[in-house]
Amino acid sequence: MKILDHLEEWLIAALMGTATLIIFFSVVHRYAAGVSIPVVQDWLIRLNFSWAQELCIILFVWMAKFGAAYGVRTGIHVGVDVLINRMDEKLRGKFVIFGLLAGATFTGIVATLGAGFVWENGMHYQVFQWLGLETGDLPEGPTTPDLEWPTWMVYSAVPLGSSLMCFRFLQVCVGFWRTGELPHHDHGHVDGMEEEMAALKASALTAHDPSVGAGDTPSSNEGSQK
């Protein structure tokens, strides 16, 4: 379960990092190939980066699908809850659970339909080949223009991302049923800011009062004075 708790962050970080590196090297290659350096220019021109744009688009599509699941888990999706929050707690809880189950139902339907589309788009043929079964007249499926990857691999982002999103809706629903709390994201929060502010406060106190040691905190110092 600990792996699932941070699955989206790891996937999004990996996809974003890969896309950033591809874009960086593609841009450097484009401009460096225009510089007249006898041997290097010929080598750079022979390098083919025509696939970079297509791969980055695919990576960003996958990033968006898993990012949507991350949004459900952390509560960063935009919601109009003015009316819901004015209701009494019991009625509000029913509407919240209904909304979460509706989200799970919708994403579950999208995942099911997406899986059927991917299966018929060439995955059926590929799985039969992997298992050594007779493919018969099964369609091999189209491929992408530049990378020439089977499109069913690219479209797999829909059933996989929607399935994870459906799971997150159900997870949030169970959590709300048990605790009455929904995940909430503070848009003004910056990771690590509390630690930095605490360090600055300690520095200011040390500069003001040399008797405060570097390892002491205001609370411990107050306790010792008492």
Q: Is 172 exposed, middle or buried (0-12, 13-18, 19+ CB in 10 A)?
A: buried
55-69: per-residue pLDDT in tens? Answer: 999 999 999 999 999
Looking at residue 23, its pLDDT comes to: 94
Q: HEC profile for the chain?
A: CHHHHCHHHHHHHHHHHHHHHHHHHHHHHHHHCCCCCHHHHHHHHHCCCCCHHHHHHHHHHHHHHHHHHHHHHHCCCCCCCHHHHCCCHHHHHHHHHHHHHHHHHHHHHHHHHHHHHHHHHHHHHHHHHHCCCCCCCCCCCCECCCCCCEHHHHHCHHHHHHHHHHHHHHHHHHHHHHHCCCCCCCCCCCCCHHHHHHHHHHHHHHHHCCCCCCCCCHHHHHHHHC
Q: Is 161 exposed, middle or buried (0-12, 13-18, 19+ CB in 10 A)?
A: buried
Q: Is 44 in contact with 29 (CB distance < 8 Å)?
A: yes
143 to each of 137, 139, 158, 178, how far by Cα in Å? 18, 12, 17, 47
pTM score: 0.76
Looking at residue 207, its pLDDT comes to: 64
Looking at residue 39, its pLDDT comes to: 78
10-27: per-residue pLDDT in tens? Answer: 999 999 999 999 999 999
Regions of the chain where pLDDT drops below 70 = 1-2, 185-197, 204, 207-226
Q: Is 218 in contact with 200 (CB distance < 8 Å)?
A: no
